[in-house]
A and B are shown apart, each in its own frame.
Chain A
Amino acid sequence: MKNQLKFRTVFLVFLSVFFITSGFSQEVEKAKVRLKADYVKVMGGEVYFNINASAKVNDENIKVPDLDLTIYNEVGDEKIKLGEAKTDVNGDGKLVLESLNSIKPDSTNTYNVSISFKGNDSFKRASKSLSFRDAAIEAKLITEDSINYISATLIDNSIDSLIVGALLRVQVQRLFKPLKIGEEYNITDDDGTVVVTIPEGIPGEDGNLIVEVVLYESDAFGTVKALVQAPVGSVKVVDESTFNQRTMWSPRNKTPLFMLIFPNLLILGIWGFIIYLFINLFKIAKS
């Protein structure tokens, strides 16, 4: 009897605690944030992490802005803070490193990085971990028999060897997105190299083209990008418009000459008469 009572009270207390706490948590249904992260290295340039935060709200994928993210370098059991980033309107955040040397790799020469989000009123906490090894692309312009090529070699810096069978993108920089050149799939050969022909007649400023060789979002190495100056394009037109000419659709400071001269002469001529006639009215009044 006494035991039964004890059990009942415990059970009731348990139930009430359960309902109270679940009542609190039910006030805010926090959504889950999905973090995507990529390590990007530009040869001779920036080294950074590209982070994107998105969430599924009401069955729709939305970008999550204004999230405070912290990026850590995990070495052994240590968690060294590398920096912070905040996502913009598109849910994109970026942390630029001074160089790769600011992170410490582990014993296998692999760099381990984690990005974490502490959570806020609308979103649950989330984290994403990233592991990569350092790779490099050595790209150069070759001209042979008056044909221009880009030769690019992919090297795994952590073990100092060539990477065979990797898919590289070779593309010419354009205004919005780059123009792919080469085959549909440019795979590095046994020498870890791809050779891609630069087609003739690609316009560039003063004939200068910038070709990108990109290892794009690889699991092992992240994204590696090399830029090559290739002054082998055709000279880009600077202005073919009629903007500086006198045309029927120009603003008034560039009216066609006949439009300026002929009507104005007519107007002056006729209004000359009209003004003369108005003056003559005064003449009549005076006499």
Chain B
Amino acid sequence: MEEDKKKSRRKFFELGIKFGLLATVGSVAAVKAMDDEDSNGMVELMSTDGNIIQVPASEAHEVSNSPKDYDPRVGFPGKKFVMVVDLAKCTNALKCQEACNKGHYITGDNAWLKVYKMQESEKTAPYWMPTQCQHCDSPPCVTVCPVDATFKRQDGIVLIDNERCIGCRFCMAACPYSTRVFNWNEPEQPAEAHEGEYTPDYCGTPSVKGTVDKCDFCPHEIVKGELPFCVKACPNDVFAFGDKYEDAVTNGSGQTFVLSTLLKDRAGHRLLEGLGTEPSVYYLPPVDRLGSFEEGLENYSEFESVKKPE
């Protein structure tokens, strides 16, 4: 636990390269390609663990990736992140919220991921709707920011630079999903939140007084090849996360689905589609539910989303 938190940002970038290469050369990460192709069309490479392995030559290309190539304002190249939320499976277990609050050291009164008790009208069914930042492709929050403190990356993730934010809260006024929270006073976070150099990649480390925070789609987990906190924590596999260009999303149990098929077969939709924000979060309707809506009422507290230590 301590070890992990002590990882510096440098390590972060190194993981980033590892990860990027992982995508191209499978479970073997090539650091240096030696151009000696043998008779089988195989090349000898050295893996990051220092072992010599054989990889098909076609898969080994020189990559110029260096730590400098990853820019937190640009993001992971060649990807666009999307999330799928299966409303049929949500029973308000709130494990997602707990994991997100814990992982981001959220100690205020407003969680970044909230499970709403929804019911559109009297005769329509009530359901639980986990909502976090939608990372819109046409983000109204980014448009109104006067100082470029919140920005949209090439990989689709919308982040906040807490060292630039002037605290005008225009982005919060502009967001129709009410997903942004504000640090009205000095946040009381544990020492771990203050370790390492500040990067907008890991929102909440630390939270800064007088600035805005929100869900960051966990780039700090993605770089390790892991899924966001909420996706991993959900006991019902409500969340699935992935790269839209790969047409694949993976849920907490490790099952991967073809995104386009999933959305087509399960009739996915997005929140407040008519506003034209183009969110990156798709919702699957609450049909053929996993559990009853009433089960979730036990866990429901209208006035609390962040559990305080006793």
State the A residues within 8 Å of B (CB): 42, 44-46, 65-66, 88-89, 96, 98, 171, 173-180, 201-203, 205, 208, 210, 212, 225, 227, 229, 236-244, 248-252
Chain A residues near B153: list those with CB within 8 A: 243
On whether the beta carbons of A202 and B138 are closer than 8 Å, the reply is: no
Main secondary structure of the interface of A (DSSP, over half): loop
CB nearest neighbor in A for B253: A177
Chain A residues contacting B74 (CB-CB under 8 Å) are 243
Q: Please, could you name 30 A-B residue pairs with CB atoms under 8 Å apart, sorted by A?
A: A42-B27, A44-B42, A46-B27, A46-B49, A88-B3, A98-B51, A175-B23, A175-B243, A175-B248, A176-B226, A177-B250, A177-B254, A180-B256, A201-B247, A202-B258, A203-B246, A205-B23, A238-B78, A240-B80, A241-B80, A241-B154, A241-B155, A241-B156, A242-B152, A243-B153, A249-B139, A249-B142, A249-B152, A250-B152, A251-B73
Closest to B50 in A: A96
Which of B152, B154, B245 is A236 in contact with, Cβ under 8 Å? B245
- For A66, the chain B residues whose CB sits under 8 A away are 3
CB proximity to A under 8 Å, residues B138-194: 138-139, 142-143, 148, 151-156
Asked if A176 meets B250 with Cβ closer than 8 Å, knowing A96-B49, A237-B245, the reply is: yes
Given contacts A240-B80, A241-B154, 19 further A-B contacts (CB under 8 A): A44-B42, A44-B54, A45-B27, A46-B27, A46-B28, A46-B49, A66-B3, A98-B51, A174-B248, A175-B23, A175-B248, A176-B227, A176-B254, A208-B58, A229-B58, A239-B154, A242-B137, A243-B154, A252-B148
B51 / chain A contacts, CB cutoff of 8 Å:
46, 96, 98
Please name all residues of chain A whose beta carbon is closer than 8 Å to the beta carbon of B227 when the two chains form the complex.
176
Number of interface residues of B (CB under 8 A): 51
**Which residues of A are found within 8 Å of B225, using beta-carbon distances?**
175-176
| CB neighbours of A237 from chain B (8 A) | 245
From residue 6 to 57 of chain B, which have CB atoms closer than 8 A to chain A?
A: 23-24, 26-28, 42, 47, 49, 51, 53-56
User: What CA separation (Å) do A42 and B56 show in the bound complex?
Assistant: 13
Asked if B1 CB lies within 8 Å of chain A CBs, one says yes
Known pairs A174-B250, A249-B143, A252-B148; A179 contacts B256 (CB<8 A): yes
Q: What is the bound-complex CA distance between A237 and B244, given in angstroms?
A: 9
Q: Let me know if B248 and A179 touch, CB within 8 A.
A: yes
Residues of A within 8 A of B255 (CB): 177, 180
Interface residues as binary, B58-98 with A (CB distance below 8 Å gives 1, 0 otherwise): 11000000000000011000111000000000000000000
How far apart sit A81 and B235, CA to CA, in the bound complex (Å)?
A: 41
Cβ–Cβ contact B152 & A243, under 8 A: yes
B56 pairs with A229, CB closer than 8 A: yes
Residue of B nearest to A210 (CB): B26
Q: How far is the CA of A237 from the CA of B245 in the complex (A)?
A: 6
A202 CA to B246 CA, complexed, in Å? 7
Let me know if B219 is at the binding interface, CB within 8 A: no
Chain B hits for A44, CB < 8 A: 42, 53-55
- Cβ of B204 < 8 Å from any Cβ of A? no
- The answer to whether A229 and B53 touch across the interface, beta carbons within 8 angstroms, is no
- Bound Cα distance A243, B156 (Å): 9
